[in-house]
Structures are given as C-alpha cells and as structure tokens.
Structure 1
Amino acid sequence: MEHSELLDIVRRPLSPDTRLEVPASRADYERVAEILEREEAKYPQLWYDGMRSVAIVVAPPTPLHAEMAGGLLSKISNEVKMNSGISSEIASGLDNVSDSRTTMNNTTKASDGALLYWEGDRATLMIAVEIAVSQAYDSMRAAVSWSVCALRCRLGLAMCISEENRGSRPPRRHYASLEEANAAVDEARDDFYHQLIEHPYGPLQRDGVTWFGRVRLVVLETFRRQDEHCTPETLLEPSQSFTLVENGEYIPQNISPNLREVVLGDCIPTHLLNNQHMEATPVNFFQREWFETRFRGSMVRTAILRVWEKTSYAQPVPRY
C-alpha cells in the first residue's frame, strides 16, 4: 500500500474529543477504514465527507461528551414510554443507539446518538443527537444538519459545551505502585466533588493544576427541515436555541418549560399515533435536577480521565 497521510494520522495518539479533518480521496479513506475494521478498533473512528473530499478522524469521546449524548436520548425515550397514550407495543419499537454510522451520496458519517423506531425489521431515524465539547460550532451544526437533511430524520438535537482554557499542560505524576496511584486518584475524585459545592460548573483544580476548566457556555439547540426537499449539503439554522449555562452559572430563565419543541411525533412515526393532538404532545424530558446531576458527574469523570492520562506507576517485578 502506498504511503498514506491519513493512515499516519490515525496511528497517532489522540486526545479525547479530538476531530481532525484530512484531505483524502474516497479510495484512500476506504483503504484505511478497512485496516481499522480488520483490527477491530472502536477508536479512532473514520468518517468521510464526500462533498468536500475530507476524511474525519474521530478520537474517543470524553465521559462528558458520551454521557450527555446517551443521557438526552434515554430521557426522551423514557418519557415517551411513560406517556399514558402510548401502548406498550408501540413503546417497544423505540431504540437508542450510539455511533450510528450511515453512508449516503459518497459520504460516511455517524451521529453521537440517535433515536430509532423499529417496525418489524425496518428502522426509521427519528432524532439525531450531536454533542460538541470545546469544538468548532460550525462543525457540529454541519453534522446535525447532515443527519436531518440527508437522512431525513424528524429532529436534530445538538448540545454545544464550551470549556474555558485549562492553562499549561500538567506534569506527569509518578507513583511507587498501582495501589498508590489509585489512592491518589480517589482523593482527587473526592476533592473534585467537594469543589462542585462551591463551583457547580468548575473549574476543578488540584495541586495547582486545572483538570477541568470552568464551563463557559452550554447551549441546547433543535434543528428541523423547513423545506422537505432540502439537499444533503444544506446547513440548517437552529429552530430553537436554549442557553443552559453561561460563565459557570445555570440560566433558568432561558429554559422554556420542558423544551416543548420536542414532541411525540418526533419520536414515533405519525401513522402509529391516534391523532394530531397526540402527535404534537410535548415530551417533557428536560428537568434541571437531572441535567445538573448528570452534567456535573460527567465533568468529574472527565477530569479524572485527564488525571489518569498524566499518571504513571511502577510495575511489580515478576518472580520466577
């Protein structure tokens, strides 16, 4: 196989949540994707944007990224299933998936999560979720627009999370054993949870190092097709935008009750619902207590992941 810049890049160590765009032909993408598939490596993932002839290398998500995507979908799915107007037979058709890879028009991408509805062996994409943690907003908007326009799903749900700069890179810490390293990490975890009492959205700091920066902004947006015939490359504007956190503070006045734009018709094909009133019934999935509990726990787990990345310990000498 000829030298491939794309293959060189997927072989590099990548920080969590990194996304790199590499100019590449479709043939080069397919060669490298085949290598990753043979190795059965979940990450890095490799996508392809056929409209721009760009391969997208995707590193593993942080806990904050992965858990917020899964959490939003689970909350929506659970609230739908609890609706008294939904039969158990209909509710059983709902399915949450992550990393749902799709190929269309020479483009291969995956959303962070999706809500599918199964009728027999046929699945319909209802809601696609994208999370961006300190990534370019335009990249996230392009990803969710592609899911809505190219894949024809009912609704795109996107959360943009902006973390302030953490400053200088922390030094590596060395411990005499795995037990000592575990003890130090456990102390850091307890300390981080204690810090959340005073600073609910960071920063999380220890020994002069910022392990998670203060949360500057969290915005939750919905995206819908205004034109049924929009093309796959359409870049949508958000239909609704809700600022949840700004400069480390929760903004309750910016949240409409339960984010009412998300309705049952977004989650279940309309021919299965009884009437238009049922189709337009809001899915009351967003509660502040749930959001804060899940978000803060994910912040701590992300900070701990970063601590472990800078932790080394002595291996025991084998005895023969």
Structure 2
Amino acid sequence: MEHSELLDIVRRPLSPDTRLEVPASRAEYERVEEILEREESKYPQLWYDSVRSVAIVVAPPTPLRAGMAGGLLSMISDEVKRNSGISSEIARGLRIESDSETTMNNTTRASDGALLYWEGNRATLMIVVEVAVSQSYDSMRAAISWSVCALRCSLGLAMCIREESRGRRPPRRFHASLDEANAAVEEARDDFYRQLIHHPYGPLERDGVTWFGRVSLVVLETFRRQDEHCTPETLLEPSKSFTLVENGEYVAQNISPNLQEVVLGDCIPTHLLNNQQMEATPVNFFQREWFETQFRGSMVRTAILRVWRKTSYAQPVLR
C-alpha cells in the first residue's frame, strides 16, 4: 500500500495507556486495520471516529486502568447476583466483557469494559466503563458518550485518574541474570507496598526514581442519555460526579455505598424484573475498603511494569 502515516504510527513502540488520534479516511483506517488483523496481535488496537475523520491508535492498558475497569464491573455484577430478588436463572445471564469492539455508522470503538445481559443468543449492553489515567478528559467523555448514545446502553461509568508527573526518565538497570533481575523487582514490589502505608496514593519511589506519581485526583462519573433520541455524536454531561481521591487523600464525605446512582434496572432488562420498585433498587457495589485495596494493588502492578520496562539482564549462553 502507499505510504501511510497511520501505519507508521501503529508500528512505533507505544507506552501503555497511550491513545493517539491521527487524521485518516475510513478507507485508510480499513487498510491498516486489515494489516493488524492479519498479524493477529491484540495491541495496538485501532478505532475510527467518522464524525471527526480520525483514527484512534490505542496501546495496551496499564494494570491500573484495566484493574479498575474490571474491578468496578465485577463488584456491580457480584452485588446484583447476591440480591435476594434475583433468581439464579436471571443471574446467569449477566456477563462481563472487556475490549469489545463495536461498529456503528462508520464509527468503530471499544470500551474498557462492559456489562451485558444475555437472553438466549441475544446480548443487551447494559453498562459500559471507561477509565482514563492522566489522559484527556474530553477524549474519555467522547468515548463514554458514544457508547451510551450510539449503543443505547443504560448507564456509562467513567473513572478519571490523575497521576502527577514522575519527573526525570529512569535509567535502564542491568543485571547479571534473570534470577537477579527477578529478585530486584521483588524487592521493589515489597518496598512499594511498604510506602503505601504512609502514602496510600503515592508517590512510589525507589533509588531516587519515581515509578508512580502521586495521585492528585480520582473522579467517578455516571452518564445517562438526556433523552431517547440522543444521536451517536452527542457529548453528554455527567449525571453524577463523585470525587474519590483529592491531593493524595481519600475523600470520605457524601460518598454513599451505591454512589446514589446505580440500580438493578441498569444491569438487567426491565422486562425480567418484577416491578418498578425492583428496577429502582440500588446496587450497593461501592465500598471504600474494596476501592482502596483494588486501587493500591493496581498502582503497584503499574509501577512494577514500569520497572520491568527499564530492566535488562544477561541471557544464558547456550552450549
């Protein structure tokens, strides 16, 4: 094929969580997407926004982004299935899916995670989740708005995580063997967990290098269609917004267990529920202990991933 800026970009090494927007025609997007499909690699992913005529190149998620998206959906699903008014037959229809690409009106996108309800061979999209770590809020809001409006799902959950700058780039560290490298990384992991005792939301530092910056803000927002006729390109405003972490500290005020927003009717098609009272029953999925455990563990895994990316070791000599 002729020279393609889009193909050049997908061939570059991309840092985890990177999302790049590249002006491209739908035809160019399809040509490059075909090349990626032939190579059968999961990342980078390629999406397309037909409204703005841009291709979106998506790098693999960090453990923090993937962990929080999957964790939110698992907590919601588990709480729904524990509800005494939900039969085991109905509970079996509720499933979690990640990285599910959808194409509609020449726009192709995927959410970080989704909660679907299966009846026979037919799936209904109920809740979509997007998590952005130190990325453009506008880009995240556009993604969640498209999923809610174009795919007609009940609710969108978006988590915005702001990590402060880590400063200078860490140097590469060399080790004599894989065992030595593994030992060094395990020492770093233990050190990071000890640091969380005093700094629950970072920074995580070692040998003068910041491997995860302090978390300055975590906001969880819900998005609902403004009306039944929202077009796919509608940019929604959040229906509720909850600040969970601010300036490196958990914000406990006014955060109810169900965030005052998620209900059974968001998770299961209403014709399967008994009545309107059941549809409006809150899903009490959000607990501080769960959030802190999940978030901090995902922070450490992300920091360790960064350590490994800067770790080299000698390969054994084959004789």
Does the pair score TM above 0.5? yes
CA contact (8 A) 1:260 1:283 kept: no
User: What residue is the counterpart of 1:162 in the other structure?
Assistant: 162
How far apart, in 1, do the equivalents of 2:165 and 2:31 lie? 37
How far apart, in 1, do the equivalents of 2:139 and 2:75 lie? 25
Structure 1: stretches of 5+ with no match in the other structure: none
User: What residue is the counterpart of 1:57 in the other structure?
Assistant: 57
1:276 matched to 2:279: no
**Cα root mean square deviation, aligned:** 0.6
CA contact (8 A) 1:244 1:254 kept: no
User: What residue is the counterpart of 1:12 in the other structure?
Assistant: 12
Q: Displacement of 1:254 after TM fit?
A: 3.7
Q: Displacement of 1:256 after TM fit?
A: 2.6
* Aligned residue pairs, count: 319
Q: Which runs of 4+ in 1 moved over 2 A?
A: none
Q: Displacement of 1:317 after TM fit?
A: 1.1
CA contact (8 A) 2:43 2:58 kept: yes
User: What residue is the counterpart of 1:194 in the other structure?
Assistant: 194
The 5 Å alignment of 1:129-140 reads 129-140=129-140
Structure 2: stretches of 5+ with no match in the other structure: none
Tell me, what secondary structure is at the counterpart of 1:258? coil
User: What residue is the counterpart of 2:225 in the other structure?
Assistant: 225
How far apart, in 2, do the equivalents of 1:90 and 1:49 lie? 35
Identical pairs, percent: 87
Partner letter of residue 301 of structure 2?
R
Q: Could you report, residue by residue, the CA deviation over 1:262-300 in whole angstroms, capped at 9, with x for unpaired residues?
A: 000000000000000000000000000000000000000
Tell me the TM-score normalized by structure 2: 0.99
Q: Displacement of 1:227 after TM fit?
A: 1.1
User: What residue is the counterpart of 2:114 in the other structure?
Assistant: 114
Q: Could you report, residue by residue, the CA deviation over 1:8-34 in whole angstroms, capped at 9, with x for unpaired residues?
A: 100000000000000011111111111
Tell me, what secondary structure is at the counterpart of 2:245? strand
CA contact (8 A) 2:172 2:312 kept: yes
Partner letter of residue 178 of structure 1?
L
Q: Could you report, residue by residue, the CA deviation over 1:239-260 in whole angstroms, capped at 9, with x for unpaired residues?
A: 0000000000000104133212
Tell me, what secondary structure is at the counterpart of 1:77? helix
Q: Displacement of 1:316 after TM fit?
A: 1.0
CA contact (8 A) 2:257 2:285 kept: no
User: What residue is the counterpart of 2:70 in the other structure?
Assistant: 70
Tell me the TM-score normalized by structure 1: 0.99
How far apart, in 1, do the equivalents of 2:21 and 2:259 lie? 33
Tell me, what secondary structure is at the counterpart of 2:71? helix
Partner letter of residue 167 of structure 1?
G
User: What residue is the counterpart of 2:298 in the other structure?
Assistant: 298
User: What residue is the counterpart of 2:182 in the other structure?
Assistant: 182
Partner letter of residue 213 of structure 2?
G
Q: Displacement of 1:135 after TM fit?
A: 0.4
How far apart, in 1, do the equivalents of 2:256 and 2:53 lie? 40
